[in-house]
Amino acid sequence: MTRILALLLLAFAAPVSAQTADTTFMWWNPQQRTPNTMHSLIYEMTQRCMGIEGEPFGELRWYSADFVLRIIVVHPPERADSIVTERLGGLWIREPRMVVFDEERFNSPEVVAHELGHDVLRNGTGHDHDNPVFQRCQIGALAP
């Protein structure tokens, strides 16, 4: 009986690839900030480690916010959408070129290096975390 139930569930389960998701980012109460010496040193070290010259450091806009969120709305076929929220330590935005940090993480070397790594790569496709230079420079995906 268990085997038949499992086969029926498999027969009616939608393939994972049919599921779609939309991702958006939000932050609350942003305040423009001035980067400090630690930020500029981390930017220089990140460029050196990656072997890539980034855009001019002084042109990057810096913000802190009460919180930074990633919101993912998953659209499974024939079922209600589900919403997943994740609080982030920071977020790099390609256009306009800026970083937004959770207020509590503005001076966190790990979070700063991670977001500046995105800026140096200037990729913005969401696949930077898989890039070997992120791993080599030890600035990969951060725990929430």
CATH number at residue 51: 3.30.2010
pLDDT in tens, 79-132: 778 899 999 999 999 999 999 999 999 999 999 999 999 999 886 555 677 788
What is the band of 69 on the pLDDT scale with cuts at 50, 70, 90? very high
pLDDT in tens, 7-55: 323 333 444 446 788 889 999 999 999 999 999 999 999 999 999 999 9
Instruction: Evaluate whether residue 3 is within a structural domain.
Output: no
Q: What dihedral angle (degrees, nearest 10) is formed by the CA atoms of 15, 11, 83, 113?
A: -40
Instruction: Evaluate whether residue 125 is within a structural domain.
Output: yes
Q: How many structural domains comprise the chain?
A: 1
Residue 81: predicted pLDDT: 80
Among 105, 115, 28, 101, residue whose Cα is nearest residue 64: 101
Residue 5: predicted pLDDT: 30
- pTM for this structure? 0.78
Instruction: Evaluate whether residue 4 is within a structural domain.
Output: no
Distance from C-alpha of 6 to C-alpha of 81, rounded to nearest angstrom: 24
Instruction: Evaluate whether residue 9 is within a structural domain.
Output: no
Segments forming the whole domain that contains residue 80: 18-136
Comparison of pLDDT for 76 and 23, the residue scoring more:
23
Q: What are the residues whose beta carbons fall under 8 Å from the beta carbon of 121, sequence distance 6 or more?
A: 50, 52, 128, 131, 133
Residue 113: predicted pLDDT: 95
Instruction: Evaluate whether residue 42 is within a structural domain.
Output: yes
